[in-house]
Amino acid sequence: MGVVQAKIQTVEDIYQLIRVAVMTKCPIRALYRGHRRWLCPHRLGRNRDGEIRVLCYQYAGDSSSGLESAGSAANWRCLALERLNKVELLENEAWRTAPNHSRLQNCVAEVDVDAEE
């Protein structure tokens, strides 16, 4: 019986997947801090310390802080890209957002891509 090798995602792989997700408004599913999350990435870039961050709207899954009802400002997440793994594009899922996306600009100070631009 052969051994099946799982594809390991590098930070570069994950960055490119999330970049595509932002540009095409495609939701993703990923593991972050041990929680399976369904996310709509809105902005990708670097914070003031030069670390890669992604501003996401979480619409399903788990979180240490829990999820509020759909459309709640409490569901915005500023995630460290290097802590994401098992990232998948969800091409058949609907894009979700909340009206207060721009007020969270401190998450990503140097923007690479933004879904609203």
Tens-level pLDDT at each residue, the chain (117 residues): 555 555 788 999 999 999 999 999 999 999 999 999 999 999 999 999 999 999 999 999 988 878 888 888 889 999 999 999 999 999 999 999 887 765 556 899 999 999 987
Q: CATH code at 105?
A: 2.30.30
Confirm whether 80 is domain-assigned: yes
Residue with tokens 């670390």: 51
Report the domain count for the chain.
1
Q: Which residues share a beta bridge with 41?
A: 56
* Domain limits for position 67: 11-94+101-112
Residue 27 falls inside a structural domain:
yes
- Say if 78 falls within a structural domain: yes
Q: Is residue 90 part of a domain?
A: yes
Whether 117 is in a domain gets the answer no
d(CA 57, CA 96): 7
41, part of any domain: yes
Say how far apart CA 22 and CA 3 lie, in whole Å: 35
